[in-house]
């Protein structure tokens, strides 16, 4: 069997991801419990509800070998799905008014009613029903038995977004899983089945918004908002719509100039404003539920309002006015810094840039503008502090931006489960409300400042590889992002075990090994790459492999300032760039203090001698030596752990992960040797354990 892109779907390829629903044995369940699953009662014809019914039938056929029948009799045992006002008497009989009022626009309720002989999935909207069906299947797969279901579930975040960095030529910037499945050779691909399967995957974890092109908009993609391309964009939106996903486009701020239609892109120019209003009207004529624009401006050579002496609020508000009549949003990225700065100047600090640019503009953005803020002040490093913008902006809609694509965390050639990192960020207390707890998760869900729009966005890690993510285990990041965006209270452990069970089945040995590999992987990757919060020790341009002084915007070692005496970046108010003052309350005090700064961020905030003693009792240089030796050893142990699973899963799944872990084990040694050698030669200090350093 082939997918729409012509690839063979072979058993064990990973194409079905967590929607493969491996065969399940329900220990302890009675025959009457399972009887519910054999019949489906649905009365509404809505396309999304029919997709929910199809998903339910597919899941039950795979998990239980059941060919689900249509429930012919209203009183027979069944699963009933539908909206509360959709005329399904089983739904109406099961759910009371209190439950119905508790369900939000995208939420759902699940209840098993023995009195009504059914498991009911009800919602106020068709997409809520679809989310509920996906959750019922997840419960059926991950439960040890079919306990009584009775819950109301609503998403914590309104916007749960994926940003694709796909280019019209078919390449993907920071893409580590093949090429685009949207485009190839500057044309739209005709692969509706692949797009539908992708939409199913995203909907199953609650994603409700997808931007389908790169934020670095090239000349050809600038035309996506023109009549020539809107029919093709609309076809993608039609597929997404069934699964509750609104389509967004990244736009070039200088679009009025690109085709020579106008001589300026000044956001305060009346002709420019009129031009954008016309483009918005054309887009919504083709795609009535179009989500809006994603914009990267005045950063890394992208055009923006600075050219005309305007600021980010001027630029974003101009676009917001064009979209406002149609309910559209402007998502304006805060990843803004001058990449042409003189990095030899120790007062120059890229970490300060987002706060310095956007904090003064708080309260000036229109209500349909959302600022998209990276989780850290730099660029998706394996370890960096939380962006100080969270909590600092009290009058501005905002979403947090994560990177599912492992640009600086192994590029999906190394396993690096990122959910623990994201959990740390979301739980970080900003102290925005003084002594009252104000974690990032409540800043971005809008509850602290009562924002109209809020949520989570992330850079996609998928491509046209048959298993979607290149490294099979990288699917756990995609799955985990969606689950965490829906419910930030879920633990990294719960999500890892859930994904492993859905993907590989219920073999305890497999579940234990896979979850352990995932949960250990972030600390392992950090240990052989980035010591104590420095980061950036990576090859220019492609960002893969060790190169201590190699980052493209830092030929002078700005990101670690290592010399023969010590290393680290002084970001204190006392003697450095002053970045630590961007934080509030105890956070500012802790980062400013050499004694109190957490070890894992020490070199991000302080320049210290190699002999500086950490809280762990080790010196900085010995920590570097030890962690890099240990990291390489632990990477080899990942491989050894995986190899115990041979024969316990489909061979195709086993082999593709083994291949990646073999490469990682070897590459970790290269990291170990290059980093340790560099700092041995810089410091001249021997390893206390007398291990070989070249």
Q: Would you tell me the crossing angle of helices 475-486 and 419-427 to the nearest 10 degrees?
A: 30
433 close to 388: Cβ distance less than 8 angstroms: no
Tokens standing for 348? 């120059």
Check 266, 407, 498, 600 and give the catalytic one.
Answer: 407
Catalytic annotation present for 407: yes
pLDDT for position 337: 86
Whether 146 and 384 have beta carbons less than 8 Å apart is answered as no
Q: 354: part of which helix (H) or strand (E)?
A: helix 353-358
Which residue in the list 269, 300, 362, 549 is annotated as catalytic?
A: 300
Query: What's the 3-state SS for 487-501?
Result: CCCCCHHHHHHHHHH
Region 271-282 average pLDDT = 98
Q: How confident is the model at residue 4 (pLDDT cuts 50, 70, 90)?
A: very low
pLDDT value for 328: 98
State the average pLDDT over residues 623-627: 98
pLDDT for residue 8: 44
Mean pLDDT of 322-328: 98
566-599: pLDDT as tens digits? 999 999 999 999 999 999 999 999 999 999 999 9
Q: What is the largest CA-CA distance in the chain?
A: 82
Residue with more model confidence, 11 or 561: 561
Could you tell me the pLDDT band of residue 623, with boundaries at 50, 70 and 90? very high
Cα distance between residue 274 and residue 571, in whole Å = 44
This prediction's pTM: 0.96
What does the alpha-carbon distance between residue 498 and residue 483 come to, in Å, rounded to a whole number?
Answer: 10
Q: Return the pLDDT at 15.
A: 97
Candidates 314, 349, 379, 465; catalytic one: 379
In this model, does residue 321 exceed pLDDT 80? yes
pLDDT at 556 over 60: no
CA distance 17 to 609: 48
**The two three-digit tokens of residue 395, written as one number:** 């009058």
Task: Specify whether the CB–CB gap between 625 and 676 falls below 8 A.
Answer: yes
Per the DSSP assignment, residues forming a β-bridge with 295 are 332
- Asked if the model's pLDDT at residue 390 lies above 60, the reply is yes
pLDDT in the model for residue 144: 53
Q: Is the pLDDT of residue 529 over 70?
A: yes
Among 170, 93, 155, residue whose Cα is nearest residue 125: 155
The arithmetic mean of pLDDT across residues 472-497, rounded, is 98
329-333/369-374 β-pairing? parallel
Number of other residues whose CB lies within 10 A of the CB of residue 93: 15
| Torsion sign (Cα): 183, 189, 194, 197 | positive
Mean pLDDT of 509-517: 98
**Are 190 and 236 contacting, i.e. CB atoms less than 8 angstroms apart?**
no
Average pLDDT over residues 280-285: 98
Tokens of 59: 């899941």
Q: Which residues contact 404 (CB under 8 A, 6 or more apart)?
A: 162, 418, 458, 459, 460, 461, 477, 478, 481
DSSP 2: B
pLDDT tens-digit readout, 182-207: 999 999 999 999 999 999 999 999 99
What pLDDT is attached to residue 694? Answer: 78
pLDDT number for residue 6: 40
């Amino acid at each position: 069997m082939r997918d729409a892109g012509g690839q063979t779907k072979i058993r064990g390829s990973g194409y079905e991801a967590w929607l493969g629903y491996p065969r399940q044995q329900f220990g302890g369940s009675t025959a009457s419990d399972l009887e519910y699953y054999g019949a489906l009662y649905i009365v509404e014809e809505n396309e999304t509800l029919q997709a929910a019914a199809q998903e339910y039938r597919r899941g039950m056929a795979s998990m239980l070998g059941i060919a689900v029948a249509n429930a012919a009799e209203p009183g027979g045992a069944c699963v009933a799905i539908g909206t509360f006002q959709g005329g399904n008497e089983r739904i109406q009989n099961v759910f009371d008014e209190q439950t119905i009022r508790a369900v939000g626009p995208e939420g759902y309720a699940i209840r098993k009613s023995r009195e009504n002989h059914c498991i009911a999935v009800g919602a106020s909207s068709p997409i809520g029903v679809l989310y509920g069906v996906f959750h019922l299947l997840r419960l059926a797969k991950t439960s040890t038995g079919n306990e009584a279901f009775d819950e109301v579930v609503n998403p914590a975040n309104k916007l749960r977004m994926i940003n694709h960095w796909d280019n019209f030529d078919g390449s993907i910037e920071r893409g580590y899983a093949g090429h685009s499945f949207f485009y190839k050779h500057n044309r739209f691909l005709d692969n509706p089945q692949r797009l539908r399967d992708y939409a199913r995957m995203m909907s199953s974890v609650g994603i409700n918004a997808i931007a389908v092109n790169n934020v670095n908009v090239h000349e050809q993609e600038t035309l996506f908002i023109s009549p020539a391309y809107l029919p093709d964009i609309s076809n993608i939106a039609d597929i997404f719509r069934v699964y509750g996903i609104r389509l967004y486009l990244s736009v070039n701020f200088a679009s009025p100039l690109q085709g020579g239609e106008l001589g300026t892109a000044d956001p305060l120019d009346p002709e420019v404003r009129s031009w954008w209003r016309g483009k918005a009207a054309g887009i919504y004529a083709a795609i009535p539920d179009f989500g809006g624009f994603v914009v990267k401006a005045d950063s890394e050579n992208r055009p923006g309002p600075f050219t005309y002496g305007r600021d980010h609020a001027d630029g974003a508000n101009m676009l917001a006015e064009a979209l406002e009549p149609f309910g559209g949003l402007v998502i304006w990225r805060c990843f803004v810094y001058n990449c042409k700065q003189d990095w030899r100047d120790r007062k120059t600090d890229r970490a300060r840039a987002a706060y310095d640019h956007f904090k003064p503009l708080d309260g000036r953005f229109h209500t349909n503008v959302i600022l998209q803020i990276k989780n850290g002040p730099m660029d998706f490093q394996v370890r960096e502090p939380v962006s100080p913008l969270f909590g600092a902006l009290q009058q501005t809609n905002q979403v947090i931006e994560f990177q599912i694509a492992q640009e600086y965390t192994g590029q999906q050639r190394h396993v690096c489960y990122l959910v623990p990192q994201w959990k740390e960020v979301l739980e970080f207390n900003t102290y925005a409300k003084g002594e009252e707890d104000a974690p990032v998760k409540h800043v971005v869900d809008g509850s602290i400042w009562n924002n109209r729009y809020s949520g989570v966005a992330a850079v996609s890690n998928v491509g046209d590889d048959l298993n979607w993510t290149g490294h099979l285990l990288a699917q756990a990041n995609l799955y985990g992002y969606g689950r965490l965006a829906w419910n930030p209270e879920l633990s990294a452990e719960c999500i890892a075990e859930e994904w492993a069970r859905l993907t590989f089945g219920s073999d305890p040995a497999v579940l234990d090994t896979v979850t352990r590999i995932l949960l250990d992987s972030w600390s392992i990757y950090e240990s052989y790459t980035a010591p104590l919060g420095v980061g950036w020790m990576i090859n220019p341009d492609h960002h893969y492999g060790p190169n201590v002084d190699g980052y493209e915007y830092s030929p002078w070692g700005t990101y670690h300032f290592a010399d023969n005496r010590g290393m680290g970046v002084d970001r204190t108010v006392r003697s450095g760039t002053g970045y630590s003052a961007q934080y509030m309350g105890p956070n500012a005090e802790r980062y400013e203090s050499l004694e109190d700064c957490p070890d894992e961020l020490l070199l991000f905030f302080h320049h210290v001698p190699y002999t500086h003693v950490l809280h762990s009792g080790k010196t900085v240089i010995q920590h570097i030596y030890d962690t890099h030796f240990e990291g390489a050893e632990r990477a080899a142990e990942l491989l050894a752990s995986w190899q115990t699973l041979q024969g316990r899963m489909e061979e195709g799944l086993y082999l593709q992960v083994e291949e990646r872990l073999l490469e990682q084990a070897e590459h970790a040694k290269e990291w170990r040797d290059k980093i340790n050698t560099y700092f041995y030669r810089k410091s001249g200090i021997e390893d206390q354990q007398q291990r070989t350093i070249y």
